[in-house]
Each structure stands twice: as structure tokens, then as C-alpha cells.
Amino acid sequence: MVSKKAKIVNEQGMHMRPATDMAKLAGGFESSVKLVYNGTPYDAKSVMFLMAACLKFGSEFEVVCEGPDEEAALKAVTEYIEAGLGD
């Protein structure tokens, strides 16, 4: 298992388009990919879970990946978040 702290840096937060893009990105990995926010894990491979997390500008959370390609999954997902979710 690997993890890294992350923060939403785009003003719109996690809305439908970046949630869809992140779910597709995370779904390309065998490893589980979770965003842990306020103690609750949200499956990053699910648009509905990502929307349910209500991640807004400035939200701080942890990206947790576990599985055979966990390092690559963590790198890809955190880079996407740090780049502003494509906005």
C-alpha cells in the first residue's frame, strides 16, 4: 500500500467532468485507488463516489493505492489532482 496527501487546487473543485476523467484514469489500474477524506474512503474508480466526497477548492485528503501497480496508480492520480483536475 502506498499513499500521498493531496489538495484540490482548482476553484471549481471535483465536479462531474473531472470526476469522470479521474474514474477513467483510476480504472485503468489493477490496484484499488481510494481518496480518504475526513476519515471516509471513496473509491476513485467510481464517479458517484467521487461526487459524494464533495471535494471543494482547498479540500485536503489522502490518495491510497493498493495492488500490483500501486506506485504507477498513485503517481498518475496525484499528478492529475495537482494539475488542477484538467481545469
Contacts 24+ apart (CB under 8 A), 46-52: 47/16, 47/19, 47/20, 47/23, 50/14, 50/19, 50/22, 50/23, 51/14, 51/16, 51/19
> Which runs of E-coded beta strand occur in 2-77?
2-7, 32-37, 40-43, 60-66
Which residue of the set 15, 59, 67, 69 is catalytic?
A: 15
What pLDDT, in 10s, does the model give residues 46-85? 999 999 999 999 999 999 999 999 999 999 999 999 999 9
Q: In which band, very low, low, confident or very high, does the pLDDT at 87 lie, cut at 50, 70 and 90?
A: confident
Residues facing residue 43 across a β-bridge: 34
- Is residue 25 a contact partner of residue 77, using CB atoms and an 8 Å limit? yes
Domains assigned to the chain: 2-82 (3.30.1340.10)
Question: Does residue 85 have an active-site annotation?
Answer: no
Instruction: List, for residues 3-59, the tens digit of each pLDDT value.
Output: 999 999 999 999 999 999 999 999 999 999 999 999 999 999 999 999 999 999 999
